[in-house]
């Protein structure tokens, strides 16, 4: 029960931080606060038993994303948002979408219900058989690397492709000084 209350509290904290990030006009502060947002999210993941996800979120969200955003601000010399616009159409869209989603949650199984359909199909097999199939105690690693190895290969290729795309966008002639000298 206390665990559930803590999870709710952390989710409320995340909403508060997200609203604060939206209201902040200083982009530098918004980027820093977004790092804090990731850290609180990682804490909530730990409470939800997703330790691998928490480790990833703490390293990636709080570390790399923040550094990349601050570097972007350094490269562009823009520190503040020009102004806030009140967007009535956006507000209506968001409220309508949110209302539909809230209505949809009434059809969902209750939170942490062991009988929910998610837990009936594949998970029992993974949890019972992975120890003898693969011999690795961490079920997340055995699913990631073996049962869903094809999927993970795709994800690694996506990361690689994104890196190559950024290299194409920002690399320019900087990373190939030798080539430039040849052109001259």
Partner 1 sequence: MQHDLILRIAAKLLIPMIMLYALYVQFHGDYGPGGGFQAGVIFAVSIFLYALVFGLPAAMRVFSPTLVQALAAAGVLLYAGVGVVSMISGGNFLDYGALNPGDRALGEHIGVLLIELGVGITVAAVMIMLFYLFASPIDADDSGGH
Partner 2 sequence: MQHAPYWLVVVLLMVGFYTMIASANLVKRLIGLGVFQVAVFFLYILLAKVRGGTAPILEEGIALYSNPLPHVLILTAIVVSVATTALGLALVVRIYHAYGSMDEDELVQHDNEVESALAARDARVLQAPRKAESS
**Contact predicate 2/21, CB 8 Å:** no
Could you say which of 19, 59, 91, 94 contacts partner 1 (CB under 8 A)? Answer: 59
With H, G, I as helix, E, B as strand and everything else as coil, classify residue 85: coil
Size (the chain), residues = 184
Instruction: Residue 174: name its binding partner from partner 2, partner 1, none (Cβ under 5 to 8 Å by kind).
Output: partner 1
For the segment 1-20, give every residue that binds partner 2 (CB under 8 A): 4, 7-8, 11-12, 14-15, 18-19
**Contact predicate 45/54, CB 8 Å:** yes
- Quick check: 149 binds partner 2 (CB under 8 A)? no
- In angstroms, the CA 57 to CA 6 distance is 19
Instruction: Residue 91: name its binding partner from partner 2, partner 1, none (Cβ under 5 to 8 Å by kind).
Output: partner 2
Name which of 111 and 175 has its Cβ closer to partner 2. Answer: 111
> Residues 91, 93, 96, 98: is their CA dihedral positive or negative?
negative
Residue with tokens 């616009």: 85
Could you say which of 6, 36, 39, 122 contacts partner 2 (CB under 8 A)? Answer: 122
Instruction: Residue 20: name its binding partner from partner 1, partner 2, none (Cβ under 5 to 8 Å by kind).
Output: none
Could you say which of 6, 81, 176, 179 contacts partner 2 (CB under 8 A)? Answer: 81
* Phi and psi at residue 126, to the nearest 5°: -60, -45
- Quick check: 50 binds partner 2 (CB under 8 A)? yes
């Amino acid at each position: 029960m206390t665990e559930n209350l803590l999870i709710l509290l952390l989710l409320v904290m995340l909403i508060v931080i997200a609203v604060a990030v939206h209201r902040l006009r200083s982009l530098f502060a918004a980027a820093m606060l977004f790092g804090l947002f990731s850290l609180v999210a990682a804490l909530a993941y730990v409470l939800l038993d997703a330790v691998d996800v928490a480790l990833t979120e703490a390293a990636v969200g709080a570390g790399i994303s923040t550094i990349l955003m601050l570097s972007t601000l350094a490269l562009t010399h823009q520190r503040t948002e020009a102004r806030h616009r009140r967007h009535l159409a956006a507000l209506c869209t968001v409220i309508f979408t949110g209302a539909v989603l809230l209505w949809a949650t009434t059809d969902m199984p209750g939170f942490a219900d062991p009988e929910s359909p998610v837990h009936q199909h594949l998970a029992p097999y993974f949890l019972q058989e992975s120890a003898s199939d693969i011999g690795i105690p961490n079920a997340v690693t055995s699913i990631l690397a073996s049962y869903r190895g094809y999927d993970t290969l795709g994800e690694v290729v996506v990361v690689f492709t994104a890196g190559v795309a950024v290299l194409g966008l920002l690399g320019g002639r900087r990373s190939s000084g030798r080539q430039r000298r040849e052109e001259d």
